[in-house]
Amino acid sequence: MSLIAGKNTKPEVMVRKILFSLGYRYRLHVSKLPGKPDIVLGKQKTAIFINGCFWHKHNCGKNVKPSTNIKFWKNKLDENVERQKQNIKELKNLGWKPIIIWECQTKKQNRLINLLHKRL
Ligand SMILES: [Zn+2]
């Protein structure tokens, strides 16, 4: 998402650190794959997306709703969600395993490690 803080957002750095410490080797922002996954584990054919809770409408209660331009934001966010659905579908069709990690899941390191263990 080019509209957020740019590429090396904090949640992403957290995930990368953990993956690295678990022995995984990855590539970043692979634009050849649908949706340009944030982290790609080539060997495992796994594509990881780090979703901002606001940008992808996570129902965790941590995404503050904008109070102005409501219609604009609603359309924009709906579009994000829809686009990602498509990308996930395409990745699966190509034989990739897509994993979505939510921003709010990266706040506690222990939890994030458990989550990655389970999903990978
Ligand atoms: Zn969330």
Tell me, in angstroms, the distance from the centre of ligand 1 to residue 48's CA: 16
Tell me, in angstroms, the distance from the centre of ligand 1 to residue 115's CA: 14
**Looking at the domain assignment, is residue 25 inside a domain?**
yes
Provide the strand spans (E) within the chain.
27-28, 39-41, 46-51, 97-102
**Looking at the domain assignment, is residue 3 inside a domain?**
no
**Looking at the domain assignment, is residue 44 inside a domain?**
yes
**Looking at the domain assignment, is residue 1 inside a domain?**
no
Tell me, in angstroms, the distance from the centre of ligand 1 to residue 105's CA: 7
Could you list the residue range(s) of the whole structural domain that residue 107 is in?
Answer: 10-119
Tell me, in angstroms, the distance from the centre of ligand 1 to residue 40's CA: 21
Task: Locate 27 and state its tokens.
Answer: 């590539």
**For the segment 60-111, what is each residue's pLDDT rounded down to a tens digit?**
986 677 888 999 999 999 999 999 999 999 999 999 999 999 999 999 999 9
**Looking at the domain assignment, is residue 4 inside a domain?**
no
**pTM for the full model?**
0.88
Task: Let me know if 105 is exposed, middle or buried by CB neighbors in 10 A (0-12, 13-18, 19+).
Answer: buried
**Looking at the domain assignment, is residue 66 inside a domain?**
yes
CATH for 106 = 3.40.960.10
**Looking at the domain assignment, is residue 91 inside a domain?**
yes
Total number of domains in the chain? 1
Tell me, in angstroms, the distance from the centre of ligand 1 to residue 60's CA: 4
> Whole-angstrom Cα distance, residue 86 to residue 49?
13
**Looking at the domain assignment, is residue 5 inside a domain?**
no
